[in-house]
Amino acid sequence: MKYLFSLFIMLFILTSCKDKTIEITEEPKEQTTELAVLSEDELLVDLVELAHGKEQFTNKEMVQFDIDLSFGGQQRLEGTVYMSTDSKYVRVDKTDGSSLIYDGKQVWMSPKDANNEGARFDMFTWSYFFALPFKLSDEGTITNLFPDTENFKVIRLTFENGTGDAPDDWYEIYIDKETDLIDHAGYIVTYGGTPAEKAAENAHAIAYSDYQTVENVPIATSWKFYNYSNGIDRSKVIGEANISNIEFGMVKKDLFSQPENAIEVNL
- Domain assignment present for residue 83? The answer is yes
pLDDT at 31: 57
Q: CATH no. for residue 84?
A: 2.50.20
pLDDT at 32: 52
pLDDT at 212: 98
pLDDT at 27: 56
- Domain assignment present for residue 4? The answer is no
- Domain assignment present for residue 17? The answer is no
Kindly report the pTM of this predicted structure. Answer: 0.84
Total domain count for the chain? 1
- Domain assignment present for residue 116? The answer is yes
DSSP the chain: -HHHHHHHHHHHHHHHHHHPPPP--PPPPPP--PPPPPPHHHHHHHHHHHHTTHHHHHTSSEEEEEEEEEETTEEEEEEEEEEETTSS-EEEEETTS-EEEE-SS-EEEESTTS--TTHHHHHHHHHHHHHGGG-TTSTTEEEEEE---SSEEEEEEEE-TTSSS-TT--EEEEEETTT--EEEEEE---TTT--HHHHHTT-EEEEEEEEEEETTEEEEEEEEEEEESSSEETT---EEEEEEEEEEE---GGGGSPPTT-EE---
pLDDT at 194: 85
10-residue averages of pLDDT along the chain (267 residues): 44 46 52 65 94 98 98 94 96 96 94 89 94 95 93 95 81 97 95 86 97 98 97 96 98 91 88
- Domain assignment present for residue 96? The answer is yes
- Domain assignment present for residue 25? The answer is no
Domain residues for the domain of 208 are: 40-264
